[in-house]
Structure 1
Amino acid sequence: MRPSPHEFPELSMSTPSTGRVAVITGASSGIGAATARALAAKGYRVALLARRVERIEALAAELGDGAIAIAADVTDRDSLVAAAARVADELGGADVLVNNAGIMLLGPFIPEQREDFTRMVEVNLLGAITATEVFLGQLRDGGGDLVNISSVAGRTARPGNSVYAATKWGLGGWSESLRQELQPDIRVMVIEPGAVATELPTHITHAQTREGVTAAYDTVPVTAEDVAEVIAFAVERPKHLTLNEILLRPTNQAL
């Protein structure tokens, strides 16, 4: 069992040189991959979880010793349980869980979009809840950090993002309840990016919406690396301090 920072005051500051372990869902691209690189650069060992195995295997090879790739789908609890077992066996357990896996299937609220609505709830909200439930015991062991990647859509809804916004508003409410329930053993942090230049818009199935969003995102100056830097900063704060909620947007984003 890892020592608790409450038992050893000298551990009250985060110490990446000791090789804290970060588990990152949706690590195959975008903010997830960038966060893996940012934390690995600070001495973290990282478990890369995603469905696209070739991508996370390539990233693990790039990051070198201390990085492992694990095929996992956040909508499949059994795959997460198997992933948690590997993290425990190979890395000693998770100190940080970054719930990054998510999809942004924007479009009008019409029956034809029903499959997209269901998928967003399953991945964005239930996926984060399930991953946290599975890794909760490891995070409790020694005091850990839970980082939930939300969105500005968790604060501001607009036409065409109703169900996506619902998942992010839900993520915020769940995170706040967990913050109160789990403190001080586990720090709960919510990161709420605005538009970020990633592949998310390319997954939108509604053609007209995809064209509009893709065109808008092509001009976005904020990168996945920018967000990853914020995440790394947050988990590196002294243990007596938690950055519970961080909202970040491109400077020229209106909403």
Structure 2
Amino acid sequence: MSGRAAADNPLRGRTVVITGAARGIGAALARELARRGARLALLGHEKPLLDAVAATVPATALTWEVDVADAAALAGAADEVRRRLGRPSAVVANAGIATGGPFATSDPALWRRVVDVNLTGSAQTARAFLPDLTDTAGYYLQVASSASLGAAPLMSAYCAAKAGTEAFAQALRAEVAHLGIAVGIAYVHWTDTEMIRDADRYTALRTLRVRMPPPARRVSPVDEVAARLAHAVERRRTTVYVPAWLRVAQAARTAVPPVVLRRTRREMPRLEAARALSATGPLGAGGRADQTAAKTQTHTTPQARTDTDTDTDG
């Protein structure tokens, strides 16, 4: 490949890891990166869905069923990725789950699980693949959220975890910059995924979203979000905001909590009076799949499972 072609296609022939790749943003991002020539390592729950995503992309894509909250299984998957696809040049920590409802009546185990998957799972993803990113002078993209910039009521576990992922990525960036590793943070707002569609079934969560000022209430198409994230991976961006107006929220983030408080102080009594405040359980099919996998894991020896029949030549 000529120098010009390599510059135009910086991901061609390079291995990219995506966690939470079975559905939603992860699956859409896999398709977008494959179109840009990347070889893919797709990690997550729901092996059949991972395989279905891999089968639709125009590139080499292998799948591993693994829980990012399970450090040993994740390390095993990382070993398999480097053996079968080579050392990754980029890793996207996208896996995430959510639950809604008042903190006071939330399930402590589920609250902790949301933090374990979103925050601890992201850190463990970075730990598992840092040797590879050091060798390739690679790129780590942490998928955070607008919840990292301003927390919302009824989503305490998710907001706490996403704020934590932002802080983790910032700390990691400062630690590894001298090694040639770039660390980016993606701030993503409402996206048309099963998680958000499921959340809209609950009166309280839907009300809090639709009462936001425009354009904050808008839900972005998942392919639009994936294209922005893929560009960030290509260009090793330090930050990416989807939609772009979130950059303003970043600049004015100290003003966000008082605005949220002022609006929700009026809404919360109405929702309580309408008995609309209750625990949602895991949101979306992905969240329910995670809960099933977590329960199964307590009864079995965890291990990363791989698709051993897939051709690895790329």
TM range (shorter): 0.7 to 0.9
Distance in 1 (alpha carbons) for counterparts of 2:244 and 2:137: 33
**CA-CA distance at 1:232 after TM superposition:** 1.2
Partner of 1:186: 181
Q: Superposed, which structure 2 residues align to 1:1-255 within 5 Å?
A: 13=7, 15-16=9-10, 18-184=12-178, 185-201=180-196, 208-209=203-204, 212=207, 220-237=218-235, 242-249=236-243
Q: Distance in 2 between matches of 1:41 and 1:48?
A: 15
Deviations 1:153-191 (A, max 9, x none): 000112112221111111111111111111141110110
Determine the C-alpha separation between the residues in 2 that align with 1:15 and 1:188: 20
Distance 2:244 2:194 in 1: 17
Aligned length: 241
Residue 89 of structure 1: CA displacement? 1.1
Structure 1: tracts of 5 or more residues without a match: 1-8
Secondary structure of 1:191's counterpart equals: strand
* Equivalent pair of 1:202/1:214 in contact (CA under 8 Å): no
How has the CA–CA distance of structure 1 residues 17 and 51 changed in structure 2, closer, same or farther, with 3 Å as cutoff? closer
CA contact 2:68–2:117 (8 Å) conserved in 1: yes
Query: Please, what is the CA RMSD of the aligned residues?
Result: 3.0
**3-state SS of the aligned residue for 1:147?**
strand
Q: Is the 8 A contact 2:98 2:157 kept in 1?
A: no
Q: 1:65 to 1:11 in 2, by over 3 A?
A: closer
Kept after mapping to 1: 8 A contact 2:229/2:240 = no
CA distance 1:70–1:25, shift in 2 (3 Å):
same
Structure 1: distance between partners of 2:11 and 2:138: 16
Q: Distance in 2 between matches of 1:231 and 1:62?
A: 19
Q: CA deviation at 1:251?
A: 7.0
- C-alpha separation in 1, matches of 2:104 and 2:197: 20
Alpha carbons 2:34, 2:59 under 8 Å: kept: no
Query: Quick one: distance in 1 between partners of 2:80 and 2:209?
Result: 37
**Seq. identity, %:** 32
CA shift for structure 1 position 202: 5.6
Distance in structure 2 (CA, Å) of the matches to 1:61 and 1:208: 37
Aligned pair in 2 of structure 1 residues 88, 226: CA closer, same or farther (>3 Å)? same
TM-score by length of structure 2 reads: 0.69
How far does residue 220 in structure 1 lie from its aligned partner after superposition?
4.3
Deviation string for 1:106-164 (max 9, x for gaps)? Answer: 22112433222111111000000011101110111121110011000000112112221
- CA gap of 1:123–1:92, structure 2 versus 1, over 3 A, is same
Distance in 2, matches of 1:123 and 1:191, equals: 17
> What is the CA–CA distance in structure 2 between the aligned matches of 1:65 and 1:172, rounded to whole Å?
31
**Is residue 20–residue 95 contact of structure 2 (8 Å, CA) maintained in 1?**
yes
Q: Distance in 1 between matches of 2:159 and 2:11?
A: 38
Which residue is 1:6 aligned to? none
Per-residue deviation, 1:11: 11
The answer on whether the counterparts of 1:27 and 1:50 sit within 8 Å (CA) in structure 2 is: yes
